[in-house]
Structure 1
Amino acid sequence: MRERERRVLVVEDEPTIAESVAARLRAEGFAVDIARDGPGAVAAAGATRPDVVVLDVMLPGFDGLEVCRRIQAERPVPVLMLTARDDETDVLVGLGVGADDYLTKPFSIRELAARVHALLRRVERARADSAAPIVLGELEVNPAERRVRLAGAEVHLTPTEFDLLVHLANRPRAVQPRERLLAEIWGWGEAAGTRTVDSHVKALRRKLGADLIRTVHGVGYALEVNDTGVTS
């Protein structure tokens, strides 16, 4: 049976950029849809159910941050955010609302395609590595179903937040250096993206409790548990 064609939604209001990105991704075997404003992007994500979204921050209607919030609320999907400048606030807010990675304009089309492939590989690897549920006190992480429950209530996580939580939950109390997390979860070989890790940890704390993950300053993070489970 032929493998299902993977689909990318490109959300970009500049026609030249949108068509250039779409042409490169189609040449690499993806099915590509284009949306040019915020409302159109949300509608397209619901209709086409893309495997990855390439999302510009600056859009007519409403911006990419709001688009990201809305599509992630409907269904977890990897998002590559495009930002016009390397502004730390834009980047951190984007990562905080569910983006998995980002590129700063102007960017290389080749680099963008490589990032899309990397996002898909990460999601597919996580599915292939699915194992038995991890239960730590009131926290239950089910890798096979990609679901998280806290005190019986389901918690919505983005794909990267989920992968980060599984990595930490498989090694409770063990300190994981930021550089290792970047390499094993994001596939990055250099440490320039440590704020990406910090933003995703912040999102997990917001959704699962501020004391869930301990910061080891200058090193990294550890999932905090006591003898009966997750620290309250």
Structure 2
Amino acid sequence: MTEGTQARPERVMVLEPDAERRQMLAQTLMQSGFRCFMADSVHDALPFYQDRQDSACMLTILNARLPWCESVELLSRAQENDWPVLFLTAEAANVAHLQSLFDLPCDALVHPFSPKQLMNAVENLLLLAQSLLRAGPLRLDTLHHRVTMAGEHLTLTAQEFALLEVLVKTPGAAVSRETLLRTAWGYQDLGETRTVDVHIQRLRRKLGKSCIETVYKTGYKLKMA
């Protein structure tokens, strides 16, 4: 870390079998203040994902040519925590395929790339990871306004998304119609709450009727398994 660089709370695992490239990647990251760990195999990297005493985000930089039979366990652990993964690949045609493999924030960089491109990709992935909200199988990407349920994309209107975001941020708690109007709609005049009921019905049709529970004389709460 260079003088004057502020330490970052996020951790980065550089999983790269080539020693020279691994050192170069780690040095670039540490100069930007990241806590950086290095491994040349999935076996050596896995203990860092099992450390329950350190809950900080772990971003993984992964050589896409590593054996998939080994990488799957590591990527599954990253997916459980919504930790981002940056794949390094030599083939531009692989990017879309790599991004579709797991339901987690990920991107791919094609060799060769500059230190600036690396850091831009890392920062964008961390921003994406911070924008994710999850409730059971439901995931909201508040940065791009995308919703998935058990990995399947759902199409919501902007108002439906805003309403669902409020409910996801208060899991298991009842939210009054008045609060939903203020937060999701920005209304100050709270005389008409029927519009909330209409949008809740639309959300139920898309998410499943049992996902949003009516709380008598109060409002609604999200109920995800």
TM-score category (smaller protein): 0.5 to 0.7
- Any conservation in 1 of the 2:7–2:33 contact (CA below 8 Å)? no
Cα shift at 1:65:
5.0
Aligned sequence identity (%): 23
Match of 2:126 among 98, 106, 120: 120
**Partner in structure 2 of residue 101 of structure 1:** 107
1:155 and 2:130 are equivalent in the alignment: no
In the TM superposition, residue 225 of structure 1 has moved relative to its aligned partner by: 8.5
The answer as to whether partners of 2:61 and 2:86 remain within 8 angstroms in 1 is yes
Letter in 2 for 1:163: D
In structure 1, C-alpha distance between the alignment counterparts of 2:72 and 2:91, rounded to whole Å = 15
2:12 & 2:97 partners in 1: Cα distance? 23
Alignment partner, residue 60 of structure 2: 53
Letter aligned with residue 97 of structure 2: L
Instruction: Give matches, 1:1-232, under 5 Å.
Output: 5-47=9-51, 50-59=57-66, 62-64=69-71, 67-73=74-80, 75-88=81-94, 91-97=96-102, 98-124=104-130, 126=131, 146-148=133-135, 154-155=136-137, 157=139, 162-163=140-141, 167-168=145-146, 204=148, 207=150, 212-213=154-155, 227=202, 229-231=204-206
2:12–2:59 Cα contact (<8 Å) kept: yes
In structure 2, relative to structure 1, the CA distance for the partners of 1:95 and 1:42 (3 Å cut) is farther
Rg bigger for which structure? 2
Unpaired segments ≥5 residues, structure 2? 1-5, 162-198, 209-225
> What displacement does 1:84 show?
2.2
CA RMSD of aligned residues (A): 3.5
- Answer 1 or 2: higher relative contact order, Cα 8 Å, separation at least 6: 1
* Letter aligned with residue 96 of structure 1: L
Given the two structures, how large is their TM-score scaled by the length of structure 2? 0.56
CA distance in structure 1 between the aligned counterparts of 2:13 and 2:107, rounded to whole angstroms? 15
How far is 1:228 from its partner? 5.9
Counterparts in 2 of 1:15 and 1:163: CA distance versus 1, 3 Å: same
State how many pairs are aligned.
158
Cα contact 1:8–1:32 (8 A) shared by 2: yes
CA distance, structure 2, for counterparts of residue 76 and residue 105 of structure 1: 25
